[in-house]
Amino acid sequence: MRALHVTSHSQPPELLDVSLPNVNTGQIRVRIEACGLNFADLLMMNGTYQDTPDLPFTLGMEVAGRVDAVAGDVTGWAEGDRVAVFGGQGGLAEYGVFDANRAVHLPEDMSATDAAAFQIAYGTSHVALSHRARLQPGETLLVLGAAGGVGLTAVEIGKVMGARVVACARGAEKLEAAKAAGADVLIDAATQDIRAEMKALGGADVVYDPVGGEQFTAAFRSCRPEARILSIGFASGEVPQIKANHLLVKNISVLGLYWGGYLAFRPEVVTDSLATLMEWYSAGRIKPHVSHVLPLDRAAEGLELLRSRKSTGKVVITIG
């Protein structure tokens, strides 16, 4: 089978012919139809992600497809079942072996492309806004990086949860994507002062930040008393340095969120969240925004779209 392998952190990944993997205890094998790309894939390539696998490994964190084989101790799955998996790696390949407890059944009305674009982005935003920040109807939610893979889902989910959503992104095209996702107010990070614009709106109750850097600082300074800042990631390349004494002035909380980490210590947070999100999808309340769909032999092009920030929403690689 073909798989996109990382063999060195200093070299680009290679599309190689490798052996078909066998299932072990607790696992299923999936004939992969689609794989969603994530910013974390770029960090894994460089060896800087918190969960970077040992070399060599196959890129691709989230997949959709059909079950191809089931270990003897696994129940609830049969060959041919439609499935989505957050495996953390192994997705940019024709087949993948994954722990069955990471897999979810797909509703018949969800395409493989939508499913591959769904779990990490929607799961991250829903757990962040609902479980961590406890976003309430009528609150003002500021979403930084609002046209990115997780940012657009935060806009959508914020609207479903009844918030006033302020979307911050760079350029008219990306802001238009955020508007289409339901944003009430738009801020162009390239030309407008985030702090000034937010102050004019009365400040933020919740900040969703996958960007870091200067935008975090501006958002922090525009927070209302008892605001909650969700630190999701650092696409700017700059990790904010927070002065603890500044938190005290307005009783601000800064909340970290690593969605995949819940699988290790509270997996029900993830599974309950995904169940809710699947219901919202089937009811037409949310819909993944996929800006690019590319075949496996163009996966490097898809990764470059993420690196150069030329995509909106998700980039999905189709397999086969």
**Residue 194 pLDDT exceeds 80:** yes
User: Which residue range(s) make up the domain with 36?
Assistant: 2-118+288-318
Q: Domain count of the chain?
A: 2
Asked whether residue 182 falls in the same domain as residue 228, the answer is: yes
For the ranges 103-112, 126-135, 279-288, the one whose mean pLDDT is highest: 126-135
**Residue 109 pLDDT exceeds 80:** yes
pLDDT on residue 154:
98
Which position has the higher pLDDT, 206 or 263? 206
Q: Which 3 state secondary structure label does DSSP give 72?
A: coil
pLDDT digits (tens, 9 = 90+) for 9-52: 999 999 999 999 999 999 999 999 999 999 999 999 999 988 89
Q: What is the pTM of this model?
A: 0.86
Asked whether residue 130 falls in the same domain as residue 254, the answer is: yes
173, part of any domain = yes
Q: How far apart are CA 289 and CA 298, in angstroms?
A: 20
Quickly state the pLDDT bin for 177 (edges 50, 70, 90). Answer: very high
Supply the CATH number for residue 213's domain: 3.40.50.720
What strands, in cross-sheet order, belong to the sheet with 223-231? Answer: 185-188, 164-169, 140-143, 204-209, 223-231, 253-256
277, part of any domain = no
204, part of any domain = yes
Asked whether residue 111 falls in the same domain as residue 132, the answer is: no
Supply the CATH number for residue 15's domain: 3.90.180.10
pLDDT digits (tens, 9 = 90+) for 209-250: 999 999 999 999 999 999 999 999 998 889 999 989 999 999
269, part of any domain = no
